[in-house]
Structure 1
């Protein structure tokens, strides 16, 4: 067995402040296996009770134990029960609790145990049986919560940690709270930790020294330790905004570390979602290299073994700490956000950051444990696991290497593995218990994670309670083949969307930010219309300017004349016969080539969007994705429609198929300057129509870039033409022209209705009726009821109302809040909006950029002035003077008939309305001429069902944001005065660009007909 002396040779790093031994080891993992098995069997024997788990459950009379047992045995009940538990803190009466119990557990897919079924057999939630059921279950859930949460206030926590110390266990305390969405909350988080440290260290002065946990190797160990989350120090923490996030977070971290040192407390930094990992590590590494903090050894960092790149991260910490010259602690855990990480990656079509099989995570945990312990001179190890084998492996390595007592401790979560913790203490190891504390509402997400862990089939705790065979429980993890643990397929089949950029990845973030500077070097050029395959000069031009910096000219754009528009129409008419005969496969191939070019140039295209229309980078990138998706999706759809369908009878054939309409005029908006024109244009083209694009004047440089791509992808001369021009002249001329067969439009209600009316008029020589597809905006509402997750609802409303300065057709301009939570929601909403960064769109920290131009700014100001007379100003943020900026503004107590509650504003203006009941909220939501998008935040099943039936919108989003529709997943479009036509990105959108035909042939000749299948 190798000893520490065999593994270490002395070395000196000139950058270090002390000598560090360098570890050189190649010990095979199997070396530690016999000792691991011996220790694991000892630990397991000490943790198991004499009776079987099932016998324990049968004998239990406590409802909290019954709930857990039922959840283990019934997957459908588990889902519904945990959803109810998630909702419970928002319910404030026994009747509400009883009603939600019936709604969640009365689901026909849920098979209830007899005891639970009997308890729920009440007719009225207000009845005595209903009250009894509510009391029983809510008490059981509170009991469950108290099993895993160390206290609801500091005094309770002090009692808990003092009890742990009597059991010779150290502690670390974590303040519960999943979401910090306002700067006030971030400051309160810091102040809460400073108060926690103060009270704990004051109490610690009266504690008797316990050598097992307060001393090691003649060194005193801080008695008080707290665990903090980096993202909670800044509400706008964002991997895209590296410098801004680092600056705002670092000041608060420094203050915390100074105060903790002054009071004698240790600080450990937790790890959260994968998106924040690299920035978290970078910030901590920089701070801990500063002279003030460089020699601190009472600080820790967490690594999560379920991450595929965790070994790389650990190696990076080893290298970094050699430079630092002083060790710190690494808490090694398996990870708590597996479901969230896999779902997000699948939805985004990103590589899975986590291992997909628990065995792979367990194996990686053991590799990292060995790596960490074999480098114990640099990093103190804190091994956090409830898996007996995982802890036994760490102990086997520590024993073999004779690792000093100070350099290793074993950790468990409060309430999760009490007997294991006691057994580890009995083995002579320092054991630290992770103690979360706080109120039940912020603690509910934590509780759900613990319940999921306890009841999961793969949980070691559950398998141990079920008394699986020792050989099975303690066997080394068997890692599946590489292919079996590859990324989970993003979809079960069907269309696969292109992935957005992941700006947490520096290899994607840095090129995207660099592209903005590259594009800036290309500003000021002139872009001419494309007519009959040639770029043609024009008599009139306009400057397209950057709305963040209006003095910056993005480009000059040539505006076509009426004569040039007529020339383009004649070119399209001449090109149509050939284009409609072009095979669909060839047309679809051109769209796929366009998609490839869009993908190649996505960073540059996003940069043009940022600069020309003031859209922040993340949203600009998502728009490029949407444009790419339109190309692929409509190519696929046209190939699907190509064959039509047959209905044949003996002696007769019937063939239903499609042909293109003719000439399509596309009138596109500025707010989605790439995605919307791309979608409308390529749909028309792949269907075999010749297409004229008349873009908004303020975004014509971007459509010029699209034009370059379409030409390069092989679209023939005259088939597609780019015609920037005035809507009042050229646009009107194209709409009325007798040679035009179809108009697709996205823009205002006034213009859309005028197009619809004018297209209906037959012009001299016109032999067809024109088809109009128009999307005309919305006055979109989000309803928030009493059961809503307020963290989720506030963040969702803020994003929907103020992202891209409210300039989306789907933006939220009304939020309708049920009266019992109106004030609480409004206060938090105001503070969340106040925490947003307003500024130039090209700055990485910006969430609210400019509006499109001076006319829009002035029109929005007029609405704000009207709102002051109609409602109460709850928030009005300042905005930069340079540029076309409007700071977010929130009106409260808004009457239903107020101008700001009825008319589309297209700016960062939000009206908050009060409803006294859910039916009233639905009625208020429907009380406008628009019906585009709507949202609901609720955890009440009956409310969700009612909204599905009665909420009059084309796109209804439940418990998520209402913007950002994705091609094929959420085909987009509304009705009433929000639009006419089928949904963009949906399976029937292309049908609008096609004329259906039926061809029937009598195939009889003199009484006989071909016989199918005959030779």
Structure 2
């Protein structure tokens, strides 16, 4: 699929049309300018954002928060908190408005009324109505001006299946009401018919994610099945009514799946001849030109045209930020000129293939629309196959100018409540006030030649965003090839199930008398591997080997040690899909989380390699006649006792930290996750670790673990696990054994009772999703998992209701299934202990959710208790499973007190849009890792070093700049360099 005509062929005509359109949009500009001093408050707010970047950020944050505020004093208080920030230079009018002493004073209430009214007025500029009555008035006004419409229902980010069904029902009802109203409309030939064909007067725009709360590219087949069932209902009803349906495009992660679903559905016999449907292409995406070519080829095969709406794209900031955070290739163009150039290329592609697709060119850029017109007029494209589109409230004058030229214009009209519409409003405001916005540049009366010049693209390469440490990128399962690689890995791993895994002692695999079967928690009849457990006698041999290997290893240059770690990280990256599959099958972790664990293990290898090279340089403080060096040396022999819940990442992290610091290391993994630890051992051997330096020593904790902890030749113990075992290790390690000449260092991470506060100003969509992910990800078996939600009284009931429905919408099942969000717990003991806590909870709190689960694996229902007393057992004791206690508090001070009211201090979180609450939490919330307005799990190496205090553990944070210091002994070396009163003095000849 190539362009049929050279681009510059149209340029003269483009310039001619663009100048005509621009002149039309600038009519009455002098009259408008004379009214600037009489602008309404909503106009002033918008104008101020264009001239003050600091105010722009704070004002948009306040607008985002506004719908959640319950009364005028709250609004006034938040206005002051947001807008009187030191970084914001306020316009005098706004400064005067905010100059009140108390939020509940009369001036405060006046300010709240003024600004909230202005924001509501501003919202109505971009939202066609918050009721059907208002929406119909807007539509009838548009039709009076000879403009067609498409109506989009706001708030489609569904998080529960109840909401998904509700939105389908609303769309069905919306189409019915619109068609009923249309019976009274006068026919307008310019928009209601074309080339002798009657066009649907009613059109709605929908998003696929609105129809399934668990829409996920990883579960492409499952998402397709459920979404298609609901879309079929929608399309059938649309046909009965004579309405048309257009499918919007959303975030990049959903793009390929969205196109795939629609292509398949619209090739079904029932829908193949439908021409009253449409899809969307976003020109800011780097692969959108190829997507367009693929769509045209598909439409050619289909044999019936459908509409392709071409837009620039509305999620640029979000896509850019996400790609940076995920270390993924950026999907959008960085330069607006590149987007504009791509828009023009795709416009030409669509219009030159008008026999196969109808084009809907959505833009407020006069040049973009002029190019489309120039091509359409040159090629004499029939009217049915071409229309222009603008957003409601943003392209009014351009739309009028296009109508005057005789073109069919459709206005995209968002409709719905202000609260769910706020995200849409913010996007429109950001777009409207961006420096690169054509509307803004036009309002600033830039020279015509500059506004209408062809876009010039200097560099289309993707910039590197990494600052400092470069984290490993998780698998992007939106990529079909990577999903297929994951499927192949499961097939490969399943062919290896049931093999024997032996201990590695002094470089040789050793036979053992005792073995244990490691089973799949999703199906405990399936044996993952048979693991040999060492005896105390074999532990003695391993200790001797470590002691013998230590002198040479401590002298090995740090660069060589670091190189082994980096090689291990590279090997893990190469085997990422396979390692993920082992994690899924052996410990029951869902696929995405298993993949994230592999990333973390790789990060530990690379980060600690970097850190040790940094520390190896030492520090110098020299003065005249004296040199002072601060250096580090390894401690000796390290014992790593790793947990089953992060069987690769934590085992790898503690082990490679000890190794790169120069310590000989023995890894004793949890008995339920020995196969994954064996795979890690294989990787270290392949990476070049010397014999005796690292040894894989699975064994019974109460025997072998205790032996290692008490052994006089052990210098440090790195442990992650339960508080009970951690405290025992801490006590045993403190006892100086006969022949021991050092005090042992213990690094222990021992879990938490992690609380997450949700206040009145929180975005409940984000808060509910965040709590669900934090509490039920990996069935609540992360030491960072949320087990308490502390909610302020005004929103408590609503929050609990939505939390229950969102949790009920989760898929519970075999961990390897791509649809699964909640898998099993690790074993029967864990399952039974969790059920005991659930029984306790039923006696002291209100059970609001418990779901049926399979008994073929170690499954426990996601369980929610409300009306929980802060001092009850389920609110105080660690429950390593999918159980959360929801606690009601009166105010934020009480919330902080309850959050701090346990023996643990590991992770905590806050969902709030109140700056003072955020500041208070930062100062007073007693946790090692505090997360604000995001999930409280998923710490990333270097970005969020992980670890807590109080009874959550002892030691510096894993993945942080202090962690390796625990594995090292510091030394200071001072040398007097004077000889008979003479010493070299640097810088003096």
- What TM-score results when the alignment is normalised by the length of structure 2? 0.99
Counterparts of 2:29 and 2:155 in 1: how far apart (Å)?
38
State the match for 1:82 in structure 2. Answer: 60
CA distance 1:178–1:252, shift in 2 (3 Å)? closer
- Per-residue deviation, residues 654-713 of structure 1 (Å, max 9, x unmatched): 111010000000000000000001000000000000000000000000000000000111
Q: 1:343 is paired with a residue of what secondary structure?
A: helix
State the match for 2:803 in structure 1. Answer: 829
Spell out the pairing of 1:180-191 with structure 2 (5 A cutoff).
Answer: 180-191=158-169
- Per-residue deviation, residues 618-658 of structure 1 (Å, max 9, x unmatched): 00000000000000000000000012111112211111101
- Per-residue deviation, residues 255-293 of structure 1 (Å, max 9, x unmatched): 000001001100000000000000001111111010100
Counterparts of 2:654 and 2:139 in 1: how far apart (Å)?
64
Counterparts of 2:364 and 2:794 in 1: how far apart (Å)?
42
Counterparts of 2:133 and 2:221 in 1: how far apart (Å)?
38
State the match for 2:451 in structure 1. Answer: 473
State the match for 2:824 in structure 1. Answer: 850
Number of equivalences: 989
Q: Cα distance, 1:1011 vs. partner?
A: 3.1
Contact preservation (8 Å) 2:168, 2:230: yes
Counterparts of 1:632 and 1:56 in 2: how far apart (Å)?
62
Spell out the pairing of 1:616-627 with structure 2 (5 A cutoff).
Answer: 616-627=590-601
State the match for 1:860 in structure 2. Answer: 834
- Per-residue deviation, residues 84-115 of structure 1 (Å, max 9, x unmatched): 00000000110000000000011011000011
State the match for 2:501 in structure 1. Answer: 527
State the match for 1:6 in structure 2. Answer: none
State the match for 1:782 in structure 2. Answer: 756
Counterparts of 1:688 and 1:650 in 2: how far apart (Å)?
33
State the match for 2:402 in structure 1. Answer: 424
Q: Cα distance, 1:229 vs. partner?
A: 0.4
Q: 2:705 is paired with a residue of what secondary structure?
A: helix
State the match for 2:642 in structure 1. Answer: 668
Q: 2:883 aligns with which of 906, 909, 918?
A: 909
Counterparts of 1:513 and 1:919 in 2: how far apart (Å)?
49
CA distance 1:724–1:751, shift in 2 (3 Å)? same
Contact preservation (8 Å) 1:498, 1:625: yes
State the match for 1:192 in structure 2. Answer: 170
Counterparts of 1:57 and 1:746 in 2: how far apart (Å)?
68
State the match for 1:55 in structure 2. Answer: 33
Counterparts of 1:539 and 1:490 in 2: how far apart (Å)?
53
State the match for 1:19 in structure 2. Answer: none
- Per-residue deviation, residues 868-893 of structure 1 (Å, max 9, x unmatched): 00100011011112100011010000
- Are residue 300 (structure 1) and residue 278 (structure 2) matched? yes
- Are residue 971 (structure 1) and residue 949 (structure 2) matched? no
- What TM-score results when the alignment is normalised by the length of structure 1? 0.97
State the match for 1:214 in structure 2. Answer: 192
Counterparts of 2:89 and 2:285 in 1: how far apart (Å)?
36
Contact preservation (8 Å) 1:412, 1:432: yes
Q: 1:741 is paired with a residue of what secondary structure?
A: strand
Q: 2:279 is paired with a residue of what secondary structure?
A: strand
Contact preservation (8 Å) 1:572, 1:718: yes
Counterparts of 1:51 and 1:878 in 2: how far apart (Å)?
66
Q: Cα distance, 1:26 vs. partner?
A: 2.8
- Per-residue deviation, residues 328-368 of structure 1 (Å, max 9, x unmatched): 00000000000000000011111111000100000000000
State the match for 1:582 in structure 2. Answer: 556
Contact preservation (8 Å) 1:178, 1:445: no
Q: Cα distance, 1:999 vs. partner?
A: 1.0
Q: Cα distance, 1:57 vs. partner?
A: 6.7
State the match for 1:282 in structure 2. Answer: 260
Q: Cα distance, 1:160 vs. partner?
A: 1.1
Gapped regions of structure 2 (runs ≥ 5): none
Q: Which range is displaced more, 150-159 or 897-906?
A: 150-159
State the match for 1:643 in structure 2. Answer: 617
State the match for 1:9 in structure 2. Answer: none
Counterparts of 2:888 and 2:30 in 1: how far apart (Å)?
55
Counterparts of 1:920 and 1:821 in 2: how far apart (Å)?
15
Contact preservation (8 Å) 1:544, 1:612: yes
Contact preservation (8 Å) 2:849, 2:862: yes
State the match for 1:680 in structure 2. Answer: 654
- Are residue 516 (structure 1) and residue 494 (structure 2) matched? no
Counterparts of 2:280 and 2:855 in 1: how far apart (Å)?
44
Q: 1:242 aligns with which of 208, 220, 224?
A: 220
CA distance 1:586–1:256, shift in 2 (3 Å)? same
Q: 1:596 aligns with which of 549, 564, 570?
A: 570
Counterparts of 1:184 and 1:993 in 2: how far apart (Å)?
52
Q: 1:381 aligns with which of 352, 355, 359?
A: 359
Contact preservation (8 Å) 2:4, 2:352: no
Contact preservation (8 Å) 1:372, 1:379: yes
Contact preservation (8 Å) 1:52, 1:465: no
State the match for 1:706 in structure 2. Answer: 680
Contact preservation (8 Å) 1:244, 1:845: yes
State the match for 2:464 in structure 1. Answer: 489
Counterparts of 2:124 and 2:24 in 1: how far apart (Å)?
25
Counterparts of 1:599 and 1:673 in 2: how far apart (Å)?
16
State the match for 1:8 in structure 2. Answer: none
State the match for 1:573 in structure 2. Answer: 547
- Are residue 394 (structure 1) and residue 368 (structure 2) matched? no
Counterparts of 1:468 and 1:581 in 2: how far apart (Å)?
68
Q: Which range is displaced more, 59-68 or 661-670?
A: 59-68
Counterparts of 2:42 and 2:329 in 1: how far apart (Å)?
39
Counterparts of 2:91 and 2:506 in 1: how far apart (Å)?
73
Counterparts of 1:371 and 1:220 in 2: how far apart (Å)?
26
Counterparts of 1:57 and 1:828 in 2: how far apart (Å)?
47
Contact preservation (8 Å) 1:645, 1:655: yes
Q: Cα distance, 1:1013 vs. partner?
A: 4.9
- Per-residue deviation, residues 236-268 of structure 1 (Å, max 9, x unmatched): 000000110000100000000000100110000
Counterparts of 1:507 and 1:477 in 2: how far apart (Å)?
34
Counterparts of 1:747 and 1:476 in 2: how far apart (Å)?
62
Q: 1:227 is paired with a residue of what secondary structure?
A: strand
Counterparts of 1:363 and 1:841 in 2: how far apart (Å)?
45
- Per-residue deviation, residues 417-443 of structure 1 (Å, max 9, x unmatched): 111101100000000000110000000
- Are residue 1000 (structure 1) and residue 974 (structure 2) matched? yes
Counterparts of 2:35 and 2:705 in 1: how far apart (Å)?
74
Counterparts of 1:878 and 1:898 in 2: how far apart (Å)?
25
Gapped regions of structure 1 (runs ≥ 5): 1-22
Q: 2:604 aligns with which of 630, 636, 643?
A: 630
Counterparts of 2:712 and 2:38 in 1: how far apart (Å)?
82
State the match for 2:899 in structure 1. Answer: 925
Counterparts of 1:397 and 1:38 in 2: how far apart (Å)?
13
Q: Cα distance, 1:158 vs. partner?
A: 1.3
Q: Cα distance, 1:156 vs. partner?
A: 1.5
Q: Cα distance, 1:208 vs. partner?
A: 1.1
Q: Cα distance, 1:322 vs. partner?
A: 1.4
CA distance 1:539–1:52, shift in 2 (3 Å)? farther
Q: 1:463 aligns with which of 426, 441, 446?
A: 441
Q: Which range is displaced more, 292-301 or 1005-1014?
A: 1005-1014
Counterparts of 1:246 and 1:178 in 2: how far apart (Å)?
18
Q: 1:350 is paired with a residue of what secondary structure?
A: coil
Spell out the pairing of 1:32-181 with structure 2 (5 A cutoff).
Answer: 32-51=10-29, 55=33, 58-181=36-159
- Are residue 253 (structure 1) and residue 231 (structure 2) matched? yes
Counterparts of 1:274 and 1:1013 in 2: how far apart (Å)?
59
Q: Cα distance, 1:159 vs. partner?
A: 1.4
State the match for 2:773 in structure 1. Answer: 799
Q: 1:984 is paired with a residue of what secondary structure?
A: coil
- Are residue 890 (structure 1) and residue 864 (structure 2) matched? yes
Contact preservation (8 Å) 2:792, 2:892: yes
CA distance 1:997–1:152, shift in 2 (3 Å)? same
Q: Cα distance, 1:298 vs. partner?
A: 0.2
- Per-residue deviation, residues 954-1004 of structure 1 (Å, max 9, x unmatched): 000000010000000000000000010000000010000000011111122
